[in-house]
Amino acid sequence: MNSNTVKIRDIEKKLTRTSPKDLAAKYVKRAKEKNEEISALLSVTEDLAVSQAEELSDDDSKLRGVPIVVKDNILVEDAISTGGSKILEHFRSPVDATVVEKVKEEGAIIIGKGNMDEFAMGGSTENSAFTPTKNPVDLTKVPGGSSGGPAAAVASGMVPVALGSDTGGSVRQPAAFCGVVGFKPSYGQVSRWGLMAMASSLDQIGPITNSVEDAKTVYNIIRGKDEKDATSVEVEKEDTDFDKIKIGVPEEYFVEGTSKAVKSQVNEAIDKARKKDLFEVVDISLPHTEYALACYHVIMDSEVSANMARYDGIRYGLERENSDADSMKEAYLQNRGELGEEVKRRIILGTFALSRGYYEDYYQKAQKVRKLIKADFDEAFDKVDVIATPTSPVLPFDLGEKLEDPLAMYLADMFTTSANLAGIPAISLPAGKANGLPVGLQLMGKRFYDQKLLKIAEEVESII
Amino acid sequence: MLNKKQVKKVAELARLELSEEELEDLREDLSSILDYVEKLEEVDTSQVDDEPIFSIQNQFREDSPDDSSEKLKEKMKAMGEHKDDYFKMESI
């Protein structure tokens, strides 16, 4: 972690000497400057930040005066939310997402909207319809995706906290690439209301921060059952104190296809744990791992094709001048032509997988394989408390390197998709560098045992 | 694996306008992705039931109106061409 980065408690300290309004102004200015270099933000919400700072009361709310970045697919009232897409370029949201309402209530100051792959489809933020984001650790590399903007904002010291979304790894992988912490809660722990839906059975919002402690603080603020999200639940298994933490290491995550540099760095981290009495490292197997990515793509693309149907260019204000469409169908075809290549690719795949004659072979089959993948985890968690793997099979790659080959890009998500499929909590921790580039260690926990996972993550963080 | 006609038909179902070039690129990409996805056939799912993966109960709330929709409507009107509470668009 570099010295530019800032934590929540640093902000608390600064506020003993500075007013929230001055602090907000300072961070806005800094964000604009840093953004010239890395393009982490699609918009700087200066007016919003200033007015929020002015309205702060003198209490001890948990995020009082803390500047944060919100991924551009999470709605912030009166701010533009593009979802990284041209089709929403001018969409000014009339509402706050539930998570945004919650962080605002705790005094957070939203200073900008984070860049992202269009509609969260991608692993490098290069699919943003506006601009790619540069990795602050190495400007020639991608920051990961799809929450590349939020991760880069935290890694570059713009803010201590960002909110991202994770459907197949989109919080954890960019966190790994940028050398910061990224946490995906169990499916259902955090309301998705106000998050532009990508794949409704996989999406979760999660914090990106510089420490597990901060991720925990933010998670405890944003979690909770929400009347507006019928898939959100109020289930939390309280952790108990443990005198031994069993870490499961699945052999399937260390096979060919994972870069040697990543393997060696992650093994080094696991060895550090092995040396401590608190931890016991156990070899385990998750036999259906090799099917996770294929399973994910069928389910995700199918759900995407349904969720993208609402973007018709009419409902959310795309005004196409010189439109020569003279029928509704033509208007739809033309407006939706504004969608990016990757989005179109996934919509078409998903539509195909759900179509008559293919539904059973693709979608239904994938849903069944999904249950087998979840069963692997259920069985593993009878034996271990947490599962440790690399977050990504590769180091942050060059900007432009994987653009020609969508499948190669998908493979970078190999290790993160299982957690979304199984609905389990997962976190990426910075585990040092290889060849000068950040490597992430992923820890996965049992479904609904988020507090336990976070507690274990804090222990691991302190030794790696 | 997929021919151009199939891609075109699916694109129409999804209301996506594709150029000839896009059509061909997509056909290639999709064919390779579908090839990758074929590996799911290897998995024996004969013992897996049809129940949904997360057994979440139906969530109900009181059917009582509030006035939040009024505020929303005003803001939505700023978004596009509208008449009363409806968005205007081309006729079918």
| Both tokens assigned to A76 | 């912030």
Closest-CA residue in chain A for B61?
Answer: A227
Within a 10 A sphere around the Cβ of B3, how many other Cβ atoms? 10
DSSP A110-162: EEEEEP-SGGG--SSSTT-SS----BTTBTTB---SSSHHHHHHHHTTS-SEE
Residue linked to tokens 């705790």: A106
Return the amino acid letter for B60.
F
The model's confidence at residue A307, banded by pLDDT at 50, 70 and 90, is: very high
Average pLDDT (A177-201) is 97
> Which of A7, A21, A34, A71 is labelled catalytic?
A71
pLDDT given at position A76: 97
Beta bridge partners of B9: none
Q: State yes or no: pLDDT of B89 exceeds 90.
A: no
Average pLDDT (B58-70) is 79
CA distance B69 to chain A (A): 11
Q: Does A94 touch chain B (CB under 8 A)?
A: yes
The pTM for the full model equals 0.95
- Judged by CB atoms closer than 8 Å, whether chains meet at A327 and B11 is answered as no
The model's confidence at residue B74, banded by pLDDT at 50, 70 and 90, is: confident
CA distance A285 to chain B (A): 17
pLDDT given at position B55: 76
pLDDT given at position A164: 98
Please list every residue in chain B whose beta carbon sits closer than 8 Å to the beta carbon of residue A91: 79
**Cα–Cα distance for residue pair A329/B16, rounded to 1 Å:** 10
Q: State yes or no: pLDDT of A6 exceeds 90.
A: yes
The model's confidence at residue A453, banded by pLDDT at 50, 70 and 90, is: very high
Task: Please give the share of chain A, as a percent, with pLDDT higher than 90.
Answer: 82
- Judged by CB atoms closer than 8 Å, whether chains meet at B15 and A317 is answered as no
pLDDT given at position A2: 52
- Judged by CB atoms closer than 8 Å, whether chains meet at A348 and B11 is answered as yes
pLDDT given at position A338: 85
Q: Nearest CB to B13: which of A327, A349, A351?
A: A351
Q: Nearest CB to B40: which of A295, A334, A337?
A: A295
Closest-CA residue in chain B for A408?
Answer: B33
CA distance B23 to chain A (A): 10
3-state helix/strand/coil string of A259-298:
CHHHHHHHHHHHHHHHCCCCEEEEEECCCCHHHHHHHHHH
The model's confidence at residue A1, banded by pLDDT at 50, 70 and 90, is: very low
pLDDT given at position B76: 76
Query: What pLDDT digit, counting tens, does each position of B32-63 carry?
Result: 888 888 899 999 999 998 888 887 777 787 88
Q: Is A93 a catalytic residue?
A: no
Q: Is the dihedral of CA A344, A350, A354, A357 positive or negative?
A: positive
Q: State yes or no: pLDDT of A322 exceeds 60.
A: no
Least confidently predicted of A62-71, A131-140, A331-340: A331-340
Least confidently predicted of A301-305, A384-388, B73-77: B73-77
pLDDT given at position A257: 80
A91: closest CA among A161, A43, A146, A38?
A43
Give the alpha-carbon dihedral of A213, A218, A220, A226, to 10 degrees: -160
Q: Does A463 touch chain B (CB under 8 A)?
A: no
Average pLDDT (A32-49) is 97
Q: Is A259 a catalytic residue?
A: no
- Judged by CB atoms closer than 8 Å, whether chains meet at A291 and B43 is answered as yes
Residue linked to tokens 């049809």: B50
| Both tokens assigned to A12 | 């608390």
Average pLDDT (A68-96) is 95
Write down the mean pLDDT value for chain A: 93
Mutate to test the interface with B, among A80, A298, A344, A359 (most CBs of B within 10 A): A344
pLDDT given at position A210: 98
pLDDT given at position A323: 67
- Judged by CB atoms closer than 8 Å, whether chains meet at A94 and B26 is answered as no
Higher pLDDT, A177 or A322: A177
The model's confidence at residue A318, banded by pLDDT at 50, 70 and 90, is: low
Query: What pLDDT digit, counting tens, does each position of A335-375 carry?
Result: 888 899 999 999 999 999 998 788 888 899 999 999 999 99
**Cα–Cα distance for residue pair A426/A224, rounded to 1 Å:** 18
pLDDT given at position A204: 98
Higher pLDDT, A77 or A318: A77
Closest-CA residue in chain A for B29?
Answer: A406
pLDDT given at position B88: 75
Query: What pLDDT digit, counting tens, does each position of A384-412 carry?
Result: 999 999 999 999 999 999 888 887 788 88
**Beta carbon pairs, A and B, within 8 Å:** 141
Query: What pLDDT digit, counting tens, does each position of A194-206 carry?
Result: 999 999 999 999 9
Higher pLDDT, B30 or A35: A35
Residue linked to tokens 């919080």: A171
Query: What pLDDT digit, counting tens, does each position of A98-129 carry?
Result: 999 999 999 999 999 999 999 999 999 999 99
Least confidently predicted of A339-343, B29-33, B85-89: B85-89
Q: Is A418 a catalytic residue?
A: no
CB A108 within 8 A of CB A66: yes
Please list every residue in chain B whose beta carbon sits closer than 8 Å to the beta carbon of residue A231: 54, 56
Write down the mean pLDDT value for chain B: 83
